[in-house]
Amino acid sequence: MRAYTPKDNVQAKSYYTDRFWVAPQVAKSAVSDDEVFAADLEAIKAKFDVLDAYIQVEQMIVIINANDNYAVLELLKNECEYTQLSEMSAIDWLDQEGKFEIFYQMLSMTKRKRVRIKCKIDEKEAIQSVEKLFRCADWSEREMYDMFGVVVNNHPFMKRILMPEDWEGFPLRKTYPLQGDEFAAWYEVDKIFGKEAREIIGPENRDPARIDRYDTKRFSRLGHEVPFGTDISQGEPDTPLVYQEQEGVFMIDKFDAQKSVVISDRHR
């Protein structure tokens, strides 16, 4: 029987974990410990549902409903002085709960505080664009769509940004195989040479550590060199080894210490 490989998460996994090992947690503290954050949280709570809020590593994390994302960011920008969106992206929790988590990393330069707004959406659900508030979200949301397939509503130019436009699959999902899928293996062959060349060229091998022992075009073996492109799969000619020393060792016969210069400093 073939070994079962899970399809919902094909990423690298630790091959051994102690069965009694319990992962420690990064300390969380209550938002009320910090006056500035407490005031910001009050402002959000006055208008929106807050599912959870805490402080972790000096930053406040607020978890909200996904359909409030635009309004909450608007409130933070206009009333709480969080004028910059440093970063936003998604996290793939499809395996565990069938959802994407989207985070917005905000910065207030006047208060010197950073807040992370997080919300969860279903796999097929779309999220509202915040591009109207922060222009940088234009590119971030495109990247999020490109990498996870999270569709963003009201975005001015919802296209892939890093991958080619006709790419299939979303590379940062946990279901996306590490060496690329079937589509990835044929993409460049089809694109450059056409589908009819598939049989001649073969699928692209994306294993960076792959070495073909008989490949004399891309690999040379020191001391056993053969002419470029020779077929050595059926055995190879013996390469006679010749050492330079057989002709005599290169020696300095006349050395004049007066005429030579010793360099001691590289003139930094």
Kindly list the residues in this chain that would bind another protein in the complex (CB under 8 A): 11-16, 23-28, 56-57, 59, 61, 83-87, 89, 91-92, 103, 105, 109, 112, 114, 116, 134-136, 138-139, 147, 160-164, 171-172, 176, 178, 266, 268
**Nearer residue to another protein within complex by CB, 258 or 264:** 264
Report in angstroms how near the CB of residue 177 gets to another protein at its nearest: 11
Shortest distance (Å) from residue 96 CB to another protein: 10
C-beta of 26: minimal distance to another protein in Å? 3
Which tokens belong to 228?
Answer: 């470029």
Distance of CA 211 to the CA centre of its chain: 25
The terminus-to-terminus CA distance of the chain in angstroms comes to: 68
Residue number with CB closer to another protein (7 or 259):
7
Nearest approach, Cβ of 172 to another protein (angstroms)?
6
Concatenated DSSP letters of 69-111: HHHHHHHHHHTS---EEEEEEEEEEHHHHSEEEEEEEEEETTT
The amino acid at 18: D
The smaller minimum CB distance to another protein, of residues 129 and 216, is found at 129
Q: Which two tokens stand for residue 183?
A: 């589509």
DSSP line for 180-243: --HHHHHHHHHHHH-GGGHHHH-PPP--TT---TT-TTT---TT----TT---TT---------
Tell me how far apart the alpha carbons of residues 181 and 240 are, in angstroms, rounded to a whole number.
Answer: 45
Q: Of 43 and 136, which CB lies nearer to another protein in the complex structure?
A: 136
Q: Which is nearer to another protein, 164 or 237 (CB)?
A: 164
Q: Which residues in 143-175 are b (16+ Cβ under 10 Å) and which e?
A: bbbbbbbbebeebeeeeebebeeeeeebbebeb
Query: Between 57 and 200, whose beta carbon lies closer to another protein?
Result: 57
Q: How far is the CB of 252 from another protein (least distance, A)?
A: 29
Helix (H) or strand (E) holding 13: none
Between 38 and 161, name the residue whose CB sits nearer to another protein: 161
| Rounded least distance, CB 147 to another protein, Å | 8
Backbone φ, ψ for residue 17 (5° rounding): -135, 130
Contact 10, 177 (CB under 8 A): yes
| Whole-number Å distance between alpha carbons of 158 and 166 | 13
What is the nearest approach in angstroms of another protein to the Cβ of residue 52?
Answer: 13
